[in-house]
Chain A
């Protein structure tokens, strides 16, 4: 069975601080994908990034960066110089292939990030 743990339920930072959101996953599959989604106060879920299990290179996109470490089964998300607009709930998700038509996608419980002005 798959499991995704986002131990930080809520994080509060002051604008311009760096913040890291933790994601730890469990799976016996050697092939899988990890995702991060953002849910701003308006409620929609926005896809941020996808990473496959064979690519451990860190990724940077503007102020966002992701650190994937298979040795610790973690896929952490860092926001540099946070802004008020970064305030949202962030979800980490794990997707593994299945033998049938089902899609095995497991979400973490989310981390509520509040960036204070």
Chain B
């Protein structure tokens, strides 16, 4: 009964380094997304996917890439880390996607705390 699993839990990067945050869900959810959480700003959507092979940008996509090769996995790639990307990152999924998805609650992973120095 894993739900949404994120790895790693903590990561420290130097400016310019790249890395991939992993996210996997075992609930057969269509919709997956990445959020970043910054103090006083709530959660902001980075990228999302409504199914395997389909991804799109959210509110703050710059500096991040995603792919969705399977229903289960939705990795987030930081191409060249910057101090402004220091944040807590959450992966979230929900059962339905598309126009009917707005009533589905999101299931969140435990988060990844990223520090870029």
Is A28 an interface position by the 8 A CB rule?
A: no
In Å, the complex CA distance between A100 and B45 comes to 16
Q: Are B106 and A105 in contact (CB under 8 A)?
A: yes
A43-B110, A43-B111 known; A99 vs B43 contact (CB < 8 Å): no
Q: Are B101 and A103 in contact (CB under 8 A)?
A: yes
Which of A9, A52, A99, A103 gathers most chain B CB within 10 Å? A103
Residues in A with CB closer than 8 Å to B99 are 97-101
Partner of A101, one of B42, B45, B54, B90: B54
Partner of B42, one of A42, A100, A109: A109
Q: Are B40 and A109 in contact (CB under 8 A)?
A: yes
Interface hits, B20-63 → A, CB 8 Å = 31, 33, 40-45, 48, 50, 54, 56
Q: Are B54 and A50 in contact (CB under 8 A)?
A: no
Question: Which A residues fall within an 8 A CB radius of B?
Answer: 4, 9, 32-33, 35, 37, 42-47, 50, 52, 91, 95-105, 107-110
Partner of B98, one of A33, A35, A44, A101: A101
Question: Which B residues fall within an 8 A CB radius of A?
Answer: 31, 33, 40-45, 48, 50, 54, 56, 88, 90, 92, 94, 97-103, 105-111, 113
In Å, the complex CA distance between A31 and B28 comes to 27
Q: How far is the CB of B109 from chain A (nearest CB, A)?
A: 8
In Å, the complex CA distance between A42 and B50 comes to 29
A91-B43, A103-B48 known; A33 vs B103 contact (CB < 8 Å): yes
Q: Are A109 and B98 in contact (CB under 8 A)?
A: no
Closest A-chain residue to B54, C-beta based? A101
Partner of B105, one of A47, A91, A104: A47
Q: Are B48 and A102 in contact (CB under 8 A)?
A: yes
Residues in B with CB closer than 8 Å to A52 are 103
Which of A50, A52, A102 gathers most chain B CB within 10 Å? A102
Residues in A with CB closer than 8 Å to B102 are 32-33, 95-98, 103-105
Residues in A with CB closer than 8 Å to B31 are 103
Residues in A with CB closer than 8 Å to B42 are 4, 91, 107-110
